[in-house]
């Protein structure tokens, strides 16, 4: 789409509490908003988000800033022509374009989510002290979550097992599904060591293990997937794999139980749909997760995910419960309740705005 006035608004989002991962602790993260005005359609506005996770996103903040400047100068939104080397930038252009085409009301995928139907999500337990992790788990259970996801791989392994055991004491197997995410933190030169750890973790009745070893070790991951007592989900493994043949080879060799889709890290919804189609060839399931977007990006992903799972009688909980992580998120009608994410349209209407958002903190 051409003939646009495109403005880039940069914003730093701050975590309410330090977010611990196997790659370190985050206290803030950058986001860039692509604000596109159609000069021929009454100034209609579309907004997309470029969300970056330091140390994980292929783009650095300076590189993303440079690519977004080029996008603004072009006056056009054509995501398919953009390089997948900059997936978050491409995702921003794609979501801004879809938003613009749907008249800028943040209803990117008119469907179940925007009609008030909730999307099941997992609750996220961040790394911390054993006491804090158990407190997080209890809080999530009190809020109605029945699927929890816990980060592992950064603490002493025995300590992590003690944490999981303590969490299981308040989240029993017959009531709560527990996912683990290692972010490559269980990697060892000898894959047998990784498998011994996974054997021990399996005793806690684990639904899945995301990315047990670092990406790029296809044969090693193939072996672990084949031998692990815990179903393995690929996450970081998908980042940077752009060619269809390579994607197919990756999935057919490794044969994961699941793939995890972060649209900001793989290049948007077109690419996510492509991964879903390829995963079906090896009977791998999937769910979407946030790349710590603000509510702008989270809303887009939630609508797409809801549309994608609409025909599934037993959809897997999505990893989209991140809207409350920041002290300075964009106000929105997204609501987390009872272990689901939904859009509260009465709230949006009460705002008395054409948009379903309060965009005063974004629009220049």
Task: Quick: pLDDT tens for 125-152.
Answer: 887 788 888 999 999 999 999 999 998 8
Annotated catalytic, 262?
yes
- The model carries a pTM of 0.91
CATH 3.30.390.10 placement within the chain: 4-101
| Class of the CATH-defined domain 119-350 | alpha beta
Burial class (CB in 10 A: 0-12, 13-18, 19+), 104: buried
Spatial distance between the Cα atoms of 221 and 212, rounded to a whole number of angstroms: 8
- Tally of CA atoms within 13 A in the half-sphere of 9 that contains its CB: 17
pLDDT recorded at residue 352 = 39
Q: Catalytic: which of 29, 149, 220, 262?
A: 262
The CATH T-level fold of domain 4-101 is Enolase-like; domain 1 (3.30.390)
CATH 3.20.20.120 placement within the chain: 119-350
**Degrees, nearest 5: CA angle 292-293-299:** 125
Q: Running along the chain, 364 residues long, what does each successive block of 10 average in pLDDT?
A: 89 84 77 91 86 91 96 93 95 93 69 80 86 90 95 88 92 95 94 97 97 97 98 97 97 98 96 97 96 92 91 88 87 88 63 50 64
CA 163 to chain centre: 24
pLDDT recorded at residue 62 = 95
Spatial distance between the Cα atoms of 271 and 239, rounded to a whole number of angstroms: 11
Annotated catalytic, 70?
no
Burial class (CB in 10 A: 0-12, 13-18, 19+), 358: middle
pLDDT recorded at residue 357 = 56
Q: Catalytic: which of 29, 149, 151, 197?
A: 151
């Amino acid at each position: 789409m051409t003939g646009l006035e495109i403005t880039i608004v940069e914003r730093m989002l701050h975590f309410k509490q330090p977010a611990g991962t196997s790659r370190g602790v985050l206290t803030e993260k950058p986001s860039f908003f692509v604000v596109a005005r159609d000069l021929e359609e009454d100034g209609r506005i579309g907004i997309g988000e470029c969300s970056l996770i330091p140390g994980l996103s292929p783009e650095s903040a300076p590189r993303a800033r440079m690519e977004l400047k080029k996008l603004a100068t072009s006056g056009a939104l054509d995501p398919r022509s953009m390089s997948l080397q900059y997936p978050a930038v491409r995702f921003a252009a794609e979501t801004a374009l879809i938003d613009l085409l749907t008249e800028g009301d943040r209803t990117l995928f008119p469907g179940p989510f925007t009609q008030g139907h909730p999307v099941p999500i997992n609750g996220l337990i961040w790394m911390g002290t054993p006491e804090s992790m158990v407190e997080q788990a209890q809080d999530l259970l009190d809020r109605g979550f029945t699927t929890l996801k816990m980060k592992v791989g950064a603490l002493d392994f025995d300590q992590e097992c003690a944490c999981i055991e303590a969490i299981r004491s308040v989240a029993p197997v017959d009531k709560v599904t527990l996912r683990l995410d290692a972010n490559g933190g269980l990697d060892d030169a000898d894959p047998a060591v990784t498998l011994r750890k996974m054997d021990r973790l399996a005793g806690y009745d684990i639904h899945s293990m995301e990315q047990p070893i670092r990406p790029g070790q296809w044969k090693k991951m193939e072996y672990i997937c084949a031998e692990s007592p815990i179903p393995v989900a690929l996450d970081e493994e998908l980042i940077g794999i752009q060619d269809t043949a390579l994607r197919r080879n990756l999935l057919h060799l490794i044969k994961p139980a699941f793939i995890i889709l972060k649209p900001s890290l793989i290049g948007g919804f077109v690419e996510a749909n492509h991964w879903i189609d390829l995963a079906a060839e090896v009977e791998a399931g999937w769910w979407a997760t946030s790349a710590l977007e603000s509510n702008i990006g989270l809303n887009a992903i939630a609508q797409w995910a809801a549309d994608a799972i609409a025909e599934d009688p037993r959809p897997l909980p999505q990893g989209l419960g991140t809207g409350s992580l920041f002290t300075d998120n964009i106000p929105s009608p997204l609501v987390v309740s009872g272990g689901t994410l939904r859009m509260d349209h009465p709230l949006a209407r009460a705002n008395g705005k054409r948009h379903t958002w309060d965009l005063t903190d974004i629009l220049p």
